[in-house]
Amino acid sequence: MKPIRFGVLTVSDTCFSKQNQDLSGPKLQECIRASFPDASIIATRIVPDEKEMIKNALLEWSSQGVMDVILTTGGTGFAQRDVTPEATKAIIDKEAPGLSYAIISKGMAVTELAVLSRAVSGIKNKTLIINLPGSVKGASESFGFIKNVLKHAVAHVREDRETIKCDHKHIRDLSPSKVKIHQSAYRNRNSPYPQIDVDVALAMIFEKLPIASVTECVDISKSLCRILAEDVYAKEPMPPFNASIKDGYAVKTSDGAGVRKVRNVVAAGDVPDSARPLDDDEIVSISTGAPVPQGADAVVQIEDTVLVQASSDGSRELLVEIKVAPKLYQDIRPVGSEITANELVIHKGDAITFGHIGVLATLGKVNVQVYKRPQIGLISTGNELQAPHEELKPSHIRDSNKLALLNLLRQYSYEASDCGIAKDNPDSVKKALHSALAHYDVIITTGGVSMGEFDLIKNVLEEDFNATIHFGRVNMKPGKPTTFATCNFEGKLKVIFGLPGNPVSAMVTTILFVIPALRHLENSKQKSLPMIPVVLGEQFTVDPRPEYVRVRLEAGDNVLTAYSVGNQISSKINSFINANALMLVPSKLVHPNSFKKGDILNAIMLN
């Protein structure tokens, strides 16, 4: 299915007049990018609470044929000027009441005030229009209630029968899970999975996963951090002409020093007079980057000259003294001195940096072939989890892992999609995994991989999806129950990382295993994040397992000194706030005693 194209329309008198800042519109854009990383936000706009202006904006966007979904925010309340639903009703061809009902009914589970919503949803031409509340919380919350059905809704509006058929097949095929929760007294008390070291786990990941072979063409403006899938050659020399390095005068070295006549001026971008070469005792005023005129073989910087005579109005130099005899080719960049024609400039397999993009722009290479990246989906598991924007229920916690992981991946240039929260029962876990496997190449789950009665990820993967668990325990702290699995789903290899539910464990194992796996899948030369030596600024105790400690590195006299950020328990996600590195503290088997201040260990930078 082609990416969904969105428009976000903010309806607000005060935002339109700039009395207040629009917060809901940008928040919706953030939600769209998090849930649909390949989507395009075609347009955004703010209009006042005027029915005709709202109608005109909706008609303009829906008639262009480039917008799949228009999300409005604001103007759905009971105030006299709240007319967004009326404007929407006036222009749509047909209503989509189920979407509005979902927003209201699910909203009532959060607050009974949701019953006051007057939101309208409908279709105009080939565009789906959905009214959302005007508050930041209400808009993002309501979007969250319907986001999982938007792809299917857009497929219907587009009449994309292949996608519709595929979605319906997934629904029909989703039978109950084969996994049965055992009586708690007879559950497993010892893991059946051997505990392996981190380097062994990484080697296994690289062995089991294929290297990218599929490529795609992207604009260089969107190529940062991608892996180049072609060698890039220069079509022309750079510079394509003899260019001046300084502001000054183009001269003939044979003239030496002395007073010279200024023929004319050549600025960057000018085409020099080529009708006749430079005469003896004649010079041309020249700017940095300008083409050196024919006959000139050096440039003298302006600091080495003296004005002798100017025109009566001061607009032109007539005579200038060259104080220092020039040397041949001084301050000239010859043709092809930086890049020769047909030269191999950038190599296949390079990770594209801002420097690469600058060179590509210089060469006029505006589109490049890069290795295609896997699509990534994130699933949280747990009966106790709620979305961060919801009012907290008794005995519940907010799902911090999802947003933290989405942004951790983004920090390393990867985009992922939110695949929701699965409850701690086999059917819910199977449904979430089935939906994610249908749409994504790499699935990351958090929670449900340990030894608890309701830790179901491994069992559901094996029994319902015939997945191979390559490892299910790693000799590390935090992150011991980290799981890596693969399966064949509808003829395609799918990769699953089952990460622990504790926030710190999820972050650490993403850095150690998921990022290297994603880099491997796109053919990156640098897979694992590099480790650097650091000096301990205090004593560090040792654990029976190798421990990845969150530390703060401070720069000193040519050294980085590591300090603990405090309590290292795996549930304390705020320990990452002050940490800028993960430091590996070897186990007691390797180093029985604590490490002392001044000792040297290795650390991974967190940026």
Residue 583 clears pLDDT 90, i.e. is over it: yes
What are 422's two structure tokens? 């699965």
What Rg, from alpha-carbon coordinates, does the chain have?
32
d(CA 217, CA 26): 29
d(CA 554, CA 581): 10
Provide CATH code, domain 374-522. 3.40.980.10
- Give residue-wise pLDDT tens across range 274-298: 667 899 999 999 999 999 999 999 9
What are 173's two structure tokens? 């095929």
CATH architecture of 243-333: Beta Complex (2.170)
d(CA 421, CA 382): 7
d(CA 484, CA 516): 13
Provide CATH code, domain 5-169. 3.40.980.10
Where is 571: in which H helix or E strand? none
pTM for this prediction: 0.77
Distance from chain centroid for Cα 309: 60
d(CA 529, CA 559): 20
Answer for the pair 270, 292: CB distance below 8 angstroms, yes or no: no
d(CA 107, CA 6): 23
Nearest alpha carbon to residue 370 among 518, 519, 226 = 226
Which whole-number Å values give the CA distances from 35 to 86, 379, 435, 492, in the listed order?
29, 12, 14, 23
- Three-state secondary structure readout of 166-203: HHHHHHHHCCCCCCCCCCHHHCCCCCCCCCECHHHHHH
Residue 433 clears pLDDT 90, i.e. is over it: yes
So what's the pLDDT on residue 186?
A: 53
What are 475's two structure tokens? 């000799």
CATH 3.40.980.10 spans which residues of the chain?
5-169, 374-522
What are 178's two structure tokens? 């084969």
Residue carrying structure tokens 């967004």:
84
Where is 556: in which H helix or E strand? none
Residue 571 clears pLDDT 60, i.e. is over it: no
**Model confidence band, residue 555 (pLDDT cutoffs 50, 70, 90):** very high
Angle between helices 161-173 and 426-439 (to 10 degrees): 160
d(CA 594, CA 353): 41
What are 571's two structure tokens? 């549930």
CATH 2.40.340.10 spans which residues of the chain?
531-605
Residues 555-576 have a mean pLDDT of 81
Superfamily of domain 531-605: MoeA, C-terminal, domain IV (2.40.340.10)
**Model confidence band, residue 50 (pLDDT cutoffs 50, 70, 90):** very high
CATH architecture of 215-234+339-371: Alpha-Beta Complex (3.90)
- Give residue-wise pLDDT tens across range 140-195: 989 988 988 998 999 999 988 887 777 766 666 678 898 887 655 556 667 889 99
Q: SS3 helix, strand, coil % of the chain, rounded to 5?
A: 30, 30, 45
- Give residue-wise pLDDT tens across range 465-478: 999 999 999 999 99
d(CA 334, CA 183): 81
Quickly list H helices, 334-424. 354-363, 400-411
So what's the pLDDT on residue 188?
A: 65
Answer for the pair 64, 123: CB distance below 8 angstroms, yes or no: no
d(CA 100, CA 520): 43
- Give residue-wise pLDDT tens across range 329-380: 999 999 999 999 999 999 999 999 999 999 999 999 999 999 999 999 999 9
d(CA 135, CA 118): 14
Answer for the pair 476, 483: CB distance below 8 angstroms, yes or no: no
